[in-house]
């Protein structure tokens, strides 16, 4: 009898997923980089049609989405006066008080849309890792802001600098920090020791994209998926060697921004000019094959989905994403055929953006107007439940006919949402 109970206990432990109860947001798009939030006891509608802002603090311009861990919020920004500097900032998540900040000289050379840094601060253990637009990499003590080590990746790896600078958040795997930087001399992707900053490996001559790498399990092995300028690649995190590679050339320019989305054994990516690609991962061997690739005639006459900034979400065999001019679309996963299109979630404009975060059966959507939408997405259509404007768009990221945008990805942690613009970082309470 005791053996039987022990077997049951071991079975339960083997199926326990600790991230289900993890309500922190220590990384790009959440703890697993998949845009899901497992918090319970949060609002499913907004009382009186609005959300109370708990606190707001001034910040400077930047595209960096906040990360939240252990009672602290981390962002980066840029200041032009009196000198050009990038800053890494840490705030108290409860009241917005600044805990520490660190600034360093950073002249933007040849960078389009120079409003500020792009890559989210990544928290791992006692460390906070920050990667700036020109390739400045820092490892901080997350509590004090003390620099543990730093590297100037542009100087050291002669980066073929993308037009919008380095944007992909570094990925921590075991004792390595893996980055998509487009360096020369076979340094398209590099891995450094996260504790010392020393190089562990480098591989590929691919150009950098703006898409953050993700870690998955395939055929019982850890695989890092990186969407570079030319390929979607599955690599061994230990040595950087590719297990598989699926070509996805960008004909007009490299505008690979959205993060690869994994659903069952499929990987989906989408770009502004060159449309979408669906890949099938073999579940027994470390191989991958193309299922379909679809591209419209141009950025106006699109096919399937042409994403810009937004990363799609896949639910119950359907893809939901934002097309080139703000069209919210639903596609059949296996074919890419359009099921429906909605024009109410965000105003139509070139590069119009929505960030999706899934919580149980509801999708929280932050559009570029600073509106947080609670919705239910299904093949039947876009069911908007509630919407409230939380933050005013600003003009440094993009001046849309004087209206501005807010393009930074929000963070959801401890029953709160954290949103930033070029002028402020705010926290709003989403608890029931």
- Per-residue model confidence (pLDDT) at position 2: 39
Pair 177, 194: CB distance under 8 Å:
yes
Pair 50, 421: CB distance under 8 Å:
no
Taking only the tens place, the pLDDT of each residue in 55-103 is 999 999 999 999 999 999 999 999 998 999 999 999 999 999 999 999 9
Question: Using a CB cutoff of 8 Å and minimum separation of 24, what contacts does 172-177 make?
Answer: 172/27, 172/122, 172/124, 172/129, 173/215, 173/222, 173/224, 173/237, 174/237, 176/200, 176/237, 177/122, 177/129
Q: What is the pTM of this model?
A: 0.93
Residues of the chain predicted below pLDDT 50: 1-22
Supply the CATH number for residue 412's domain: 2.130.10.10
CA–CA separation, 24 and 22 (whole Å):
6
Using alpha carbons, list the distances in angstroms from residue 295 to 263, 285, 321.
21, 29, 15
- Per-residue model confidence (pLDDT) at position 282: 98
CA–CA separation, 394 and 198 (whole Å):
39
CB atoms within 10 A of CB 99: 17
- Per-residue model confidence (pLDDT) at position 402: 87
- Per-residue model confidence (pLDDT) at position 16: 34
Q: Which of 142, 274, 258, 266 is nearest to 210 (CA)?
A: 258
The domain tally of the chain equals 1
Domain of 110? 2-429
- Per-residue model confidence (pLDDT) at position 20: 40
- Per-residue model confidence (pLDDT) at position 13: 38
């Amino acid at each position: 009898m005791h053996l039987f109970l022990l077997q049951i206990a071991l079975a339960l432990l083997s199926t326990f997923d600790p991230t289900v109860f993890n309500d922190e947001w220590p990384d790009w798009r959440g703890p697993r980089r998949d845009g899901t939030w497992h918090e319970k006891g949060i609002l499913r509608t907004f009382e009186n049609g609005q959300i109370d802002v708990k606190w707001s603090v001034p910040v400077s311009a930047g595209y960096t989405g906040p990360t939240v861990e252990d009672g602290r919020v981390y962002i980066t920004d840029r200041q032009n006066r009196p000198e050009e500097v990038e800053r890494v900032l840490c705030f108290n998540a409860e009241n917005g008080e600044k805990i520490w900040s660190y600034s360093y000289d950073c002249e933007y050379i040849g960078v389009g849309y120079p409003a500020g840094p792009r890559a989210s601060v990544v928290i791992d253990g006692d460390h906070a890792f920050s990667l700036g637009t020109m390739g400045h990499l820092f490892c901080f003590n997350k509590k004090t802001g003390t620099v543990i080590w730093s590297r100037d990746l542009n100087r050291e790896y002669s980066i073929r600098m993308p037009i919008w600078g380095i944007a992909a958040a570094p990925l921590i795997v075991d004792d390595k920090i893996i980055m998509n930087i487009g360096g020369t001399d076979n340094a398209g992707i590099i891995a450094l020791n996260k504790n010392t900053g020393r190089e562990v490996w480098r591989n590929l001559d691919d150009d950098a994209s703006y898409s953050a790498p993700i870690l998955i399990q395939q055929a019982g092995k850890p695989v890092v998926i990186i969407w570079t300028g030319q390929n979607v690649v599955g690599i061994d995190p230990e040595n950087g060697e590719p297990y598989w590679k699926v070509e996805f050339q960008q004909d007009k320019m490299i505008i690979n921004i959205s993060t690869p989305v994994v659903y069952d054994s499929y990987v989906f990516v989408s770009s502004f000019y060159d449309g979408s690609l669906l890949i099938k991962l073999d579940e027994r061997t470390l191989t991958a094959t193309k299922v379909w690739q679809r591209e419209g005639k141009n950025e106006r006459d699109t096919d399937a989905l042409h994403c810009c900034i937004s990363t799609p979400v896949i639910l119950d065999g359907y893809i939901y994403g934002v097309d080139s001019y703000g069209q919210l679309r639903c596609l059949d996963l296996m074919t890419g055929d359009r099921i429906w299109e909605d024009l109410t979630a965000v105003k139509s404009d070139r590069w119009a953006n929505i960030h999706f975060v899934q919580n149980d059966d509801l999708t929280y959507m932050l559009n570029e107007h600073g509106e947080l939408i609670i919705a239910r997405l299904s093949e039947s259509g876009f069911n908007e439940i509630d919407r409230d404007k939380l933050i005013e768009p600003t003009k440094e990221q993009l001046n849309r006919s004087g209206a501005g945008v807010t393009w930074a990805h929000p963070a959801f942690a401890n029953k709160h949402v954290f949103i930033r613009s070029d002028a402020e970082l705010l926290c709003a309470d989403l608890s029931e």
